[in-house]
Chain A
């Protein structure tokens, strides 16, 4: 297929549509990569803008990063996607201001490889370093330092956004900036951003580990100790029941000072060599990860943890343990898996407990879940983090009953004033989104002004009707009641 544009060169789509999915491998859909070929100036935002405006508006477009969102946020069925490889030209770091001007397709992995050896670190990193700048902003991602430092977009000083009407520079003073942060690609294509980096004393982490016997203790410890550390996270065993419900291993950390290092580490305090030790097989049978095998893993992992310990770890070891196994998402087999991540406000700890009870009581097996305390949220209307607790757990798609289990949990979450993380979602009911994200309408209006022809809509956006401007509705509660006649269970 060829689309000619007004500057005389043809931009060809690289032929066939390809099937893509998020990290959970379900759902999937097919779309066509926009291929800029060797168009002169193809990396300029204006070129991209002109390309887009030359397409009929019925062609949906979405920018894709490294596909680490779990569900359908980076999918555009029947439409086109922009590959991160085509947004990778700029990498410009200024040590004086600690600002990094970088193309949106560049990954945190690359940034770390290039800058950690000189003593600089990203302001926020998620549990994997294989995410792009575009994906980090579009999901307004959080890290283990959210309680101290907020979310990723709060460290972005400027970004370049392309829509059909052109290319625009945005700063945090613009409402479109905050609609794009957390807006999951549905306000346009981020081509470049400037990130406020930070200096680190070494490339090591000073880690304090504590094992807790149950959820109450986990909550108390985190609440009382988080403020003393820059990073904090708890790994919860969601298969433990009864008096062990919610037993966890909490790790707090700060960047290690040179004085904290061992002699060998001191020789190269900024040494950084992330390694992938294993690659998961492509054809893993879906029974490989079942309740029994996961339970054994969780048990061993809990017993191995010290009651209290202080250690020095590497950055990959502390932040990105899963990145040591390439393509580990294949271990869940062909049906794939999903990640359920929600936030509930402080004060609703009883709901958190109730949810963990239901998860451990159900047959939905899961590896360790991750529990974290959020600090204040960002101004992004669709940005996920908000003050409170967040729990994230992987669930294999091996039993259709997880549908009603999770629907029930959604009601508890929404009822407690919380929300699910859209970058992880692949199944929530659309009626709950305006309840979970009260800023949805405001966001949809800003997105509509930036993209009046509705070009930038992902499969997630269609499934949850995120870009739909609401008609005046009589009563939202009425709708909820009629939709789910069997009600929250």
Chain B
């Protein structure tokens, strides 16, 4: 059961190889978590996370295969996970592809793949997860969105628009969960230095997985629906959202 400070005991991670997810789970394991289920496509990455977690604790870590582009497999996977671990009290949705804007924007099939994973796959997952948590009457869903979805930009509009879909879907879902005992926490990180972004130049207010993880832990403790990471990103985005399109288009990031 999640406690008064938002500390979970049994965590299901969708996108189990993600650097941010790994950092967040690391913190929870340090606090109260004793069971973690990592779900994703890349076993090697998930095994790295697993051995890192188990190097310093007796946490039980399971690894499971889940491909978010295989849409019909998602609900059975979620149901199976909740059947086997009926005490799951937190689901962290960290799956997503960053893509490559230059190539994506001219390739219909790459656009399809981006939406399949980042938008359709996550929306299906959230729906299946919410159904199960509603029945349990408690628990938390943490969604890693992105400031890229807040105002979709010329420089990464394929990725950005998939995150816009996820962001809007999550906010609506959060409203629908009110009265269910289940909470949803939406995190909008800025530019995070991870293995997904090593090839990219640093953007303003660049942050790290560790700092985003700290913000996730804090958002859960305070039970806050919407968190920018770093916090200053909120004000940057507020300005940015209101820039005239003609100027925004020309900004380098």
* Chain A residues near B (Cβ < 8 Å): 16-19, 24, 26-31, 71-72, 75, 77-79, 334-336, 338, 397-400, 402-403, 407, 426-427, 429-430, 459-460, 462-463, 479, 482-486
Contact = CB atoms under 8 A, between A and B. Distances in A.
A72 B6 CA distance: 13
Interface in B195-253: 217-218, 221-224
Interface of B: 1-7, 9, 30-32, 34, 56-58, 87, 135-138, 179-181, 217-218, 221-224
A334 B183 CA distance: 13
Contacts of A482: 57-58
Contact of A77 (B7, B34, B136, B218): B136
A402 B31 CA distance: 12
Contact of B222 (A27, A31, A79, A335): A335
Interface of A is mostly: loop
B137 to A, nearest CB: 4
B138 A78 contact: yes
Contacts of A400: 5-6, 217-218, 221-222
A426 B138 contact: no
Interface of B is mostly: loop
Given A400-B218, A400-B221, A463-B9, A30 B137 contact: yes
Contacts of A77: 1, 136-138, 181
Q: Which 5 A-B pairs have the closest CB atoms?
A: A30-B181, A426-B4, A29-B138, A78-B137, A463-B1
Contacts of B87: 462
A427 B221 CA distance: 11
Contact of B181 (A26, A28, A334, A483): A28
Contact of B30 (A72, A402, A485): A485
B137 A397 contact: no
Contacts of A485: 30, 56-57
Contacts of B2: 27
A338 B218 CA distance: 16
Contact of A31 (B3, B6, B56, B137): B137
A482 B181 CA distance: 32
Contacts of A426: 3-5
A422 to B, nearest CB: 13
A78 B137 CA distance: 4
A72 B137 contact: no
B5 A403 contact: yes
A27 B3 contact: yes
Given A78-B137, A403-B31, A427 B181 contact: no
Contact of A17 (B30, B31, B58, B181): B181
Contacts of A403: 5, 7, 31, 221
A400 B185 CA distance: 15
A397 B222 contact: yes
Chain B CB within 10 A, most for which of A30, A71, A485: A30
Given A335-B223, A459-B1, A486 B30 contact: yes
13 contacts: A17-B180, A27-B4, A29-B137, A29-B181, A30-B180, A78-B135, A334-B223, A335-B221, A336-B4, A399-B221, A427-B7, A460-B1, A485-B56
